[in-house]
Amino acid sequence: MKPSSEAVLILHHALPATPGSPSAESDAGVMAEVVVVAAALDRLGVPHRTVAIATLGDLTAHLQTSQEKTVFNLVENLLPQTADAALVPSVCHAFGKAVTGNDTACQTLCLDKWRTKAVLATAGLPVPAGVLVAPGSHPPARGLPRGALIVKPLFADASEGIDARSVVKRAGPGLARAVARVHRQFGHPALIEQFFGTRELNVSVLERDGQPVVLPAAEIEFRGFGTRLPHIVDYKAKWQADSFEFQNTVRMIPAPLTSRKARQVADMARTAWKVAGCRGYARVDFRMTAAGELAILEINPNPDISPDAGFAAALKAAGISVDDFIQGQCRTARTYAAPPSPVRRRSQRARTARRALSDATIQWTRPEDRDAIIALARETGFFLEAELTVATEVLDDSLKAGESGHYQSYTLLADGKPAGWVCFGPTPCTLGTYDIYWIAVSPRCQGRGFGRALLDHAEALIRRARGRVVLLETSGRSLYQGTRGFYLAAGYDEVARVPEFYMPGDDRVIYAKYLHARA
């Protein structure tokens, strides 16, 4: 038997007491996932027990007495509203539990198809055009996407509310009926989307050692659908085993793609994972035209892991056993558990930073460092192309003006090659206030204290210039949780937050450090 500290609580939502709900089959499907997880933990010799909850109140009652330190989260639906399920990770963390899969921020984002589209599009990823129709309203007369359309509930998952009637050739009575049906069944806004492409791809992504690993892509073949049925994976195709749609949507894995197209799909899935702030495991769904154009339909955090589901097929195609996956998810969950106290973490980081400079040097940025700095900033995956364009302009300005210019640019060299970059300067119209505009460390060199060394170097130069306060800013999305923790550990305090500054759901978070005692 494993030590009790590794014991796992398998958590799932209680099945509806009354059958006939729009999600009855998908709700029941969670039990197949419970069986998979329990069987794997049995084979691994890990103690576990299973608990069903109907509300967040049920969850807190169980966590108050739970001895397990890790929760395997299979909760997809709660009362009184489905969206409460996204709060499960935060509640578990509040009780000091490690929890598998994606966090509350990611689940909340991906549950809202409209916000997800906005985040993906801002990152430069292609998505189908669409419009929202509020409950009680009718489809707009103008501004609809061209061509065939598909109507979806805004907040539903697992193809709930989607069937052949959801696809219409054009605006008209059929579109109005599809929108009204969503309003009536779910009470959600209806998302009217361009019906993009003819091929459907599912790409599963798994976190290993803190990095997303893209598994072999799958394509869904619509056998015998012809022109009678739309080529979509609707609710019947996913959940109703006796239906034509279920029996004739056949998974091909790996998908029949050229090596170039497979790389493009993998790169886009990896980017989608990062911008949505995914953890643990997820699935990215694509549509593709006959000409090879791609669009991302949605991101599915914590997708179905039952034996017949696409994620299980992707694991098998990648040569990863179910036991390895379950064990890896529990291990990953523990890496996101509550960190040590800030005081202890700060002293550990300080020691790491002091050691870093024994392996590296920091010097004024040289022209020959330029391309390497831009490349390492891109490799981090934290900056959008528009941000990289600005970073390049700032870097070029600093190289042109030299050390007497506004932008102070320094490169960290490891083994003689650029491995990190920091750029800072005085804040206009202030006395002694400085902004650190950019700080980046090559992914190949992270974990060696280089980031802290660069930050300490910038602060030392700002002190020498009689600077009083240093400001930093970053995104409030879960993808940047590590960045925010880095700033806190370095002695910065969050002093302001501007809700939805960068885009819907993406706050601007501002940090400050006072280098001298405040009057």
Q: Give per-residue pLDDT as tens, 40-50.
A: 999 999 999 99
**Which of 139, 491, 500 is CA-nearest to residue 343?**
491
**68, two tokens:** 């397990």
Chain segment 234-250, per-residue pLDDT in tens: 888 887 888 888 888 89
Residue whose C-alpha is closest to residue 425's, from 389, 453, 398: 398
Residue 478 has pLDDT above 80, yes or no: no
Angle, alpha carbons 72-76-79 (nearest 5°): 120
pLDDT of residue 2: 45
Identify how many contiguous H helices and E strands the chain contains and give both numbers: 17, 21
What are the φ and ψ backbone dihedral angles of 282, each rounded to 5 degrees? -160, 170
Question: Do 100 and 73 meet the contact criterion of CB atoms below 8 Å apart?
Answer: yes
3-state secondary structure of 305: coil
Phi, psi for 211 (deg, rounded to 5): -120, 145
Closest CA to 225 of 262, 203, 242, 250: 250
One-letter amino acid for residue 109 of the chain: L
Query: Highest-confidence range of 230-244, 283-297, 440-454, by mean pLDDT?
Result: 283-297
pLDDT at 345: 45
Percentage above 70 pLDDT, the chain: 92
| pLDDT, tens only, 421-439 | 999 999 999 989 999 999 9
* β-pair partners for 439: 422
**Which DSSP string do the residues of 458-489 spell out, in sequence order?**
HHHHHHHTT--EEEEEEE-SGGGHHHHHHHHH
Better-scored residue on pLDDT, 187 or 355 = 187
Domains of the chain: 4-101 (3.40.50.20), 129-195+225-249 (no CATH), 342-514 (3.40.630.30)
How distant, in Å, are the alpha carbons of 207, 216, 319, 374 from that of 313? 17, 9, 10, 38
User: What is the strand order of the sheet 149-153 is part of?
Assistant: 130-133, 190-194, 149-153, 167-168
| Residue 46 near residue 2, CB atoms below 8 Å | yes
- 133: β partners: 190
pLDDT at 232: 85
Bridge partners, 207 (sequence order):
212
